[in-house]
Amino acid sequence: MHRVVALALPEVVAFDLAIAAEIFGHPDERDRYSFLVAAGHPGMVPSTSGFGIQATADLNALRMADTVIVPGFMPYEDPGPEVTAALRAAAAREARIASISLGAFALGAAGLLDGRGATTHWQHFDEFSRRFPKVAVNPGALLVDEGAVLTSGGAAAGIDLCLHLVTGDHGAPVATQISRRMVAPLQRSGGQARFMRRPLPGGLRNLGSTCDWAIGELHRPITVAELAAQAQVNTRVLTKRFQEETGMTPMEWLTTQRVLEAKRLLEATELPVEEIAQRCGLGSAGNLRLHLGRETAMTPAQYRRAFRSAAGMS
User: Where do the structural domains in the chain lie, given as residue ranges?
Assistant: 2-182, 197-314
User: What's the confidence (pLDDT) of residue 97?
Assistant: 98
- Which helix (H) or strand (E) covers residue 310, if one does? helix 300-313
Contacts of 173 (CB under 8 A, 6+ apart): 305, 306, 309, 310, 313
- The verdict on domain 2-182 having CATH code 3.40.605.10 is no
Q: 7 and 62 in contact (C-beta within 8 Å)? A: yes
User: What's the confidence (pLDDT) of residue 128?
Assistant: 95
User: What's the confidence (pLDDT) of residue 189?
Assistant: 56
| Phi, psi at 252, each rounded to 5° | -65, -40
Residue 82 half-sphere exposure toward CB, CA atoms < 13 A? 8
Q: 38 and 57 in contact (C-beta within 8 Å)? A: yes
End-to-end CA distance of the chain: give it in Å, rounded. 22
Mapping DSSP to helix (H, G, I), strand (E, B) and coil, where does residue 163 land? helix
The per-residue pLDDT string of the chain (314 residues; one tens digit each, 9 = 90 and over) reads: 899 999 999 999 999 999 999 999 999 999 999 999 999 999 999 999 999 999 999 999 999 999 999 999 999 999 999 999 999 999 999 999 999 999 999 999 999 999 999 999 988 988 999 999 999 988 777 888 998 999 999 888 999 999 999 988 998 788 888 988 887 776 665 555 444 333 333 445 567 778 888 889 999 999 999 999 998 899 999 898 887 666 678 998 899 889 889 988 998 899 999 999 999 999 999 999 998 887 777 889 988 887 764 444 44
| Phi, psi at 89, each rounded to 5° | -65, -40
- CA distance linking residue 52 with residue 55, whole number of Å: 9
User: What's the confidence (pLDDT) of residue 9?
Assistant: 98
Strand pairing class (67-70; 143-145): unpaired
Mapping DSSP to helix (H, G, I), strand (E, B) and coil, where does residue 54 land? strand
Would 2-182 and 197-314 be classified into the same CATH topology?
no
User: What's the confidence (pLDDT) of residue 191?
Assistant: 56
The beta strands (E) that lie in the chain are given as 2-7, 33-38, 43-46, 52-55, 67-70, 96-99, 117-118, 136-137, 143-145, 149-152
User: What's the confidence (pLDDT) of residue 245?
Assistant: 67
Q: Which amino acid is at 10?
A: P
User: What's the confidence (pLDDT) of residue 195?
Assistant: 44
User: What's the confidence (pLDDT) of residue 193?
Assistant: 47
- CA distance linking residue 208 with residue 200, whole number of Å: 15
User: What's the confidence (pLDDT) of residue 313?
Assistant: 41
Residue by residue, DSSP assigns 237-306 as: HHHHHHHHHHSS-HHHHHHHHHHHHHHHHHHH----HHHHHHHTT--SHHHHHHHHHHHHS--HHHHHHH
User: What's the confidence (pLDDT) of residue 226?
Assistant: 94
Q: 125 and 118 in contact (C-beta within 8 Å)? A: no
Q: What is the phi-psi region of residue 155: left when phi exceeds 0, alpha when psi lies from -120 to 50, beta otherwise?
A: left
User: What's the confidence (pLDDT) of residue 49?
Assistant: 95
Residue 20 half-sphere exposure toward CB, CA atoms < 13 A? 29
- CA distance linking residue 244 with residue 232, whole number of Å: 18
- CA distance linking residue 180 with residue 112, whole number of Å: 33
| Phi, psi at 21, each rounded to 5° | -65, -40
- CA distance linking residue 91 with residue 116, whole number of Å: 14
For domain 197-314, the CATH architecture is: Orthogonal Bundle (1.10)
pTM score over 0.75: no
User: What's the confidence (pLDDT) of residue 182?
Assistant: 86
